[in-house]
Amino acid sequence: MKKNQTPTVRFAPSPTGFLHIGNARPALMNWLFRLRHDGRFILRLDDTDGLRSTDEFAQAIVEDLTWLGILPDAFFRQSDRFSLYDAGVKRLIDDGRLYPCYETADELDRRRKRQMARGLPPTYDRAALKLSGSERAALEAEGRRPHWRFLLDHKVVEWEDMARGTVSIDCASLSDPILRREDGTYLYTLPSVIDDIDLGITHVIRGEDHITNTAVQIQVFEALEGAVPTFAHHNLLTTASGEGLSKRLGHLSLRHLREAGMEPMAVASLAVLVGSSEAVRPVSSMEELAQVIDVTRLSHAPAKFDEKELAALNTKLLHELPYEAAKDRLALLNVGGGEEFWNAVRGNIVRMTDALVWWEIVSKPIKPVIEDSTVPLAAAHKLPDGPWNKEMWSPFTWQVWTQAIIAETGKKGKELFRPLRLALTGREHGPEIANLLPLIGHERALARLEGREA
């Protein structure tokens, strides 16, 4: 990185599916890096595969990142940038680093099998490099079009990886990678490098499944005389049973997790803290998360993502969420009652939308459940006169009221609280009655205790 250069990272998904929890990891690692270093975060859509990429998925990626709290500083799509890639190809051909090959997939496959049968590594043998001009012309006359391979330097490529320390890969053991197919379309390798150079990417943070690509890409950076960025390859998320996460696991898509009521910060906390040196816990803001974790503090083993752990984290996050942080979300759900209501119910919800359920219970008519009217009627009889204001329902008032009911009915503990709860809320479980009662209000509480819908 040059002096005074803004640290610049990118997240580069292909819009060929919905983002899932596994993609959230690189997205967040890059976003947290951007926050920590006051840098820039670029969203780059790798949509050179025109058949599988769709606008619908592109739109969904932006929406899902926004939901998660990631707001890119700039946005590019590779499909707008083919002229840059074509120029790169020309340069590599002129410099003798890209050479045309005419083998069909079948021919390559047969060759690989023969190599393996002889105990040789199944790498490309560079046969096409030896073709003479007239042999190439003859193949083209047959109607064959070339695909293009990058001539790797057979050397060891080494880099200091921010997540893994020194990594070295012997490129002599790799096939010359195909950069462009016979139909002129691009594979991922070259456009990515050209964009990283053109957009001034200083740090490439991505999953460890890209480590071999990195060795190849470093050679492409050098061939194009671009500044080689610093790399960090994080460990990948797997399912709880250790399988890799794929786009087909729809229930782990960010959309689905959002619809299931998961909080973005619960998802973000788990997606980055699991498989790290930090304890998995709910962190309430991205800024704080950026201080807690970075790519240097990840483990090398796969990180297991467990949905049950996410649900538990989500619940914990909501239980601890201060009113100020919940306020806007509650307003969106049309939940009233202010801080008093939030503090009364937050300990009993597992999803934000549960707050609406409780808001409706305290503020809209419900049918009380009366199994035996002894306790509810005594409670109605002893209920402090209304209208109530906030101050009057102190713990002391609550105690005086319940003692009076006990004195009249002789019922205590569960025998006292179950009928009160059923009458006042219509439910067997929920937040402390003492906290709900002032929110329900005198008139409604009295009616419900008397068995009337209110």
**For binding to ligand GLU (CB under 6 A), which residues are involved?**
12-14, 46, 188, 192, 206, 210
Q: Which is nearer to ligand GLU, 25 or 206 (CB)?
A: 206
Q: Which is nearer to ligand GLU, 210 or 329 (CB)?
A: 210
In the chain, what is the straight-line distance between the N-terminal and C-terminal CA atoms, in Å? Answer: 68
DSSP states of 51-110 as a string?
TT--HHHHHHHHHHHHHHT---SEEEEGGG-HHHHHHHHHHHHHTT-EEEE---HHHHHH
* Closest distance of CB 188 from ligand GLU, Å: 6
Q: Which is nearer to ligand GLU, 271 or 420 (CB)?
A: 271
Alpha-carbon distance of 227 to 179, in angstroms, equals: 20
* Closest distance of CB 35 from ligand GLU, Å: 19
CA distances from 110 to 104, 123, 124, 180 (A): 10, 12, 12, 22
| Helix, strand or coil, per DSSP, at residue 373 | coil
Alpha-carbon distance of 332 to 327, in angstroms, equals: 9
CA distances from 5 to 40, 43, 202, 218, 296 (A): 11, 19, 8, 20, 21
Q: Which is nearer to ligand GLU, 16 or 397 (CB)?
A: 16
* Closest distance of CB 216 from ligand GLU, Å: 12
Under 8 Å between Cβ of 322 and 358: no
* Closest distance of CB 72 from ligand GLU, Å: 14
* Closest distance of CB 38 from ligand GLU, Å: 22
Q: Which is nearer to ligand GLU, 181 or 452 (CB)?
A: 181
* Closest distance of CB 389 from ligand GLU, Å: 58
Pairing between β-strand 147-150 and β-strand 98-101 as defined by DSSP bridges: antiparallel
Q: Which is nearer to ligand GLU, 193 or 440 (CB)?
A: 193
Alpha-carbon distance of 232 to 234, in angstroms, equals: 6
∠358-433-373 over CA atoms, to 5°? 105
* Closest distance of CB 82 from ligand GLU, Å: 16
Q: Which is nearer to ligand GLU, 192 or 202 (CB)?
A: 192
Alpha-carbon distance of 281 to 12, in angstroms, equals: 27
Q: Which is nearer to ligand GLU, 147 or 234 (CB)?
A: 234
Alpha-carbon distance of 253 to 19, in angstroms, equals: 6
Alpha-carbon distance of 65 to 77, in angstroms, equals: 16
DSSP structure class, residue 260 = T
Under 8 Å between Cβ of 64 and 255: yes
Alpha helices, DSSP H, located in 333-449: 338-345, 354-363, 374-382, 395-409, 413-425, 433-440, 442-449
* Closest distance of CB 340 from ligand GLU, Å: 47
* Closest distance of CB 171 from ligand GLU, Å: 18
* Closest distance of CB 6 from ligand GLU, Å: 19
Q: Which is nearer to ligand GLU, 27 or 293 (CB)?
A: 27
CA distances from 66 to 26, 72, 246, 448 (A): 15, 9, 22, 44
Q: Which is nearer to ligand GLU, 196 or 294 (CB)?
A: 196
* Closest distance of CB 255 from ligand GLU, Å: 18
Q: Which is nearer to ligand GLU, 206 or 421 (CB)?
A: 206
| Helix, strand or coil, per DSSP, at residue 298 | strand
